[in-house]
Amino acid sequence: MQALHMNKGNGDTSYAKNSTVQSKIISVGKRVMQEAILKMIYSNAVDLESMGIADLGCSSGPNTLSVISEIMDTVEAANHRLGRRLVSEFRVFLNDLYSNDFNEVFMSLPAFYNRLKEEKGIGFGSVFVSGVPGSFYVRLFPTNSLHFVHSSSSLHWLSQVPAGLDSKALKCVNKGKLFISKSSPQIVMDAYSLQFRNDFSLFIRSRSQELVPGGRLVLSFLGRKSADATTQDSCYHWELLAQAIMSLAREGRIEEEKVDSFNAPYYAPCTEEIKEEIQKEGSFTIDGLEAFEIDWDGGVVTDIHTPQGKQLVGQRVAKTIRAVVESMLESHFGIEPDVMDELFIRYADIVGTHLSQSEPSTSIW
């Protein structure tokens, strides 16, 4: 909770400049989000005069308010179809961890409000936007205060390193790795799966108390196709990052002991794990569960089989990953800026070579 945040600001390595993949995920999930909102509206089971909306894991940058804009567009379209105004005010809550760049989010609000006035007119309704810092694995909002909850590219982050893996007895059990891999012992895979199940159950239980009866929850996060947690689509980006870090460790620029003790607080679940926890908790019914694939470089068309194409794709992926994980690496390893730069130069080379041979993508659920 203290170490994880996306890279702040608007610089070359910032999340704001390197979140195309996350934007694609939001775009692909747009249809599902619209359907969920319209089902809620047309059911007539929910009083929407003052609509409570939460975006959990909002981060910062251009993606943050784009989701809120899409939700409002969907409600406005429903207004026109029904010939009446359903919502007189929107209560919007943007949530992320305490170290998130909320300053950047708040600085973007004046332009957001102005755009709403220009596009919707003064009769659209009042919009109140608030920041809510804290972990979404606990209660964040009053009982029955929300109508729609959205979370994208966030729930694959665990609340902590899997319980037990940071103990002295197991600290180096996943030697030379940052996450689950083919060489990981079963105890590592079990610890990760259990941590996800516990966290996801807490998330679902918390939202069930905060949402009004008939409210909707739309989630998109990284997942995997197979029940096998060691498959490439689940862990290959961590595996390649470990290779880059170990190359620096062999040169004495990073302590190898710290590599052995690092366990990423991340997990990409399979369909069965998601369904089981939702059904076991019992507060929600599943309207739909879909999987789609996203290219790690954001889907920019590039000939990966040319030296230049391989380099460009590797660099794009490295910037995307760096914008997300740099805060954790800096906290755990104490990496100096020049070493961090070298790490992701090497990572880009490794990724480019890997993708030119296999061209994998990642699954999103």
Run means of pLDDT, 10 residues per run, the chain, 365 residues:
79 88 90 94 85 95 91 89 85 95 93 89 83 97 97 95 74 81 89 95 97 95 89 82 94 90 92 95 93 76 71 90 92 91 95 73 48
What's phi and psi for 243, nearest 5 deg?
A: -60, -45
Tokens of 17: 């400049």
Cα–Cα distance between 153 and 58 in angstroms, integer?
Answer: 9
Starting at the edge strand that comes first in sequence, how are the strands of the sheet with 222-223 ordered? 222-223, 362-364, 292-294
Specify the pLDDT at position 360.
47
Beta partners for 152?
220
Tokens of 277: 């926890």
Cα–Cα distance between 85 and 120 in angstroms, integer?
Answer: 12
Specify the pLDDT at position 257.
87
Q: Which residues contact 128 (CB under 8 A, 6 or more apart)?
A: 89, 90, 91, 92
Residue type, 119: E
Specify the pLDDT at position 302.
63
Specify the pLDDT at position 217.
96
Cα–Cα distance between 187 and 62 in angstroms, integer?
Answer: 40
Specify the pLDDT at position 170.
58
Cα–Cα distance between 237 and 317 in angstroms, integer?
Answer: 9
